[in-house]
Amino acid sequence: MDGGIAPPPRRHDTAPRRIYLDNAATTWPKPESVWHAIDRYQRDNGASAGRGAYGHALEAQRVVMEARRGVARLLNAREPRRVVWAANCTDALNLAIHGYLRPGCHVVATENEHNSVLRPLRWWSDRCGVRVCFAPVDAAGFVRPSTLAGLLREDTRLVVVNHASNVTGALQPLAELAAVVAAHDRAALLVDAAQTLGQVPWELEADCRVMIAAAGHKSLLGPLGTGLLYIGPGLEDELLPTRQGGSGTDSERETPPDSLPERFEAGNLNVPALVGLIAGLDYIHQRGVPAIAAHHRELSNALRSGLSAIPGVRVLGPTTDLPSVGVVSCLIDGFDPHEMAAILDAEFGIETRAGLHCAPRIHGALGTRERGGAVRFSIGFATTSADIETTLDAVRAIAG
Ligand SMILES: Cc1ncc(COP(=O)(O)O)c(C=O)c1O
């Protein structure tokens, strides 16, 4: 590899190539245009955005705005300035939770939540008397709107909803869950769209009391180091900045600027990564989200039904007739998930993710926590039917 990091050699080099099925962690490969755009920017521009007034700095600023517009377009949001950059989805969720909660308030979340929601919430409940309750999921991993409605209280300040589970792939009925929160009138909704933005058509109204956290490096096809929080109208006044520092504007003030997005973006932005993100967004807009959704659904359903047919294999979450994203997790009788993932990698060149996937509650609900979790296969835009066939053959060989 050209200056890269070589993978360890395989025990039996039976696989024709690397089959990367860890796209829920971060997508790989990215479209070629992403690598080229970053390379070009680093070589030819390299300036920081929102600071200087010379040509290259202004170009950097233009690029940052273009990336905001690309995300706003996906969200059907009118105001790109409501898209605030973060380092990853965890960072965006931390801003939303730490910036929005107040001591003693009540929060509702779901059993599908990732540790990037669970841990900030736990911080508030341990230190600031915040009460958190969790909406349970049904056997397929879905939260029922009526269940959520039953948990809301007078003093509920925030409802956090995982849009699609990074363990089961279950795609929640977001519009119905959002309607429950909207009917409450006082609570704001925080959507964890880490596994959905860029992969499923966005149907949620953006002009309401909603915050949407997403990763730029997953289905948006940007590089690692990118994330974002969309802040719905009115919420910016109630959201406190969790980082303070230089913004390139209002430098005479000792407090952060009031304007969006500067209020929440202290310090230099990761412009090279945002340039890559623009190329990822361009790919998505050109191919179209419905086509991308269909690709993920077709391949994950092929995997889901193929795995379910193998004796000794238990597939978690939704059946193929239920809404899901390109994430499929399973267990094989007699195998520890880590052992199975190690065999898939070493013997077949198939890269998966084993364990609890930073989502211990959903594994608890599905009864897989005590078994060390599961093995997760997650599909990307470049995954092929042949990859799925090879994966099924490998699991058959292991289970057999
Ligand atoms: C549902 C969910 N939320 C949040 C995150 C955190 O995303 P990031 O890796 O961008 O911090 C992940 C990552 O896998 C996730 O799957």
| Ligand 1, atom 15, residue with closest C-alpha | 194
Whether residue 161 has its Cβ less than 6 Å from ligand 1: no
C-alpha 166 to ligand 1 mean position (Å): 8
Whether residue 118 has its Cβ less than 6 Å from ligand 1: no
| Domain 19-30+288-399, CATH | 3.90.1150.10
Q: Measured between alpha carbons, how far is 9 from 293 in angstroms, rounded to an integer?
A: 34
Ligand 1 atom closest to Cα of 88? 10
The domain made up of 33-286 has a fold known as Aspartate Aminotransferase; domain 2 (3.40.640)
pLDDT for res 7: 52
pLDDT tens figures, 93-138: 999 999 999 999 999 999 999 999 999 999 999 999 999 999 999 9
Ligand 1 atom closest to Cα of 227? 10
Cα radius of gyration rounded to whole Å, the chain: 21
Angle, helix 337-348 to helix 385-399, in steps of 10 degrees: 120
Residue of 97, 116, 329 best suited for mutating to test ligand 1, as the one with most atoms within 8 Å of CB: 116
pLDDT tens figures, 268-288: 999 999 999 999 999 999 999
Q: Measured between alpha carbons, how far is 164 from 149 in angstroms, rounded to an integer?
A: 19
Question: pLDDT grade, residue 248 (50/70/90)?
Answer: confident
Q: Do the strands 19-20 and 83-86 form a parallel or antiparallel pair, or are they unpaired?
A: unpaired
Instruction: Please compute the mean of the pLDDT values over residues 231-249 and round it to a whole number.
Output: 94
Q: Measured between alpha carbons, how far is 26 from 380 in angstroms, rounded to an integer?
A: 9
Ligand 1 atom closest to Cα of 90? 11
In this structure, which amino acid lies at residue 54? Y
| Segments of the chain assigned to CATH 3.40.640.10 | 33-286
Residue 12, pLDDT > 50, answer no
| Segments of the chain assigned to CATH 3.90.1150.10 | 19-30+288-399
C-alpha 294 to ligand 1 mean position (Å): 22
331, 314 contact by CB (below 8 A): yes
pLDDT for res 2: 43
Whether residue 194 has its Cβ less than 6 Å from ligand 1: yes
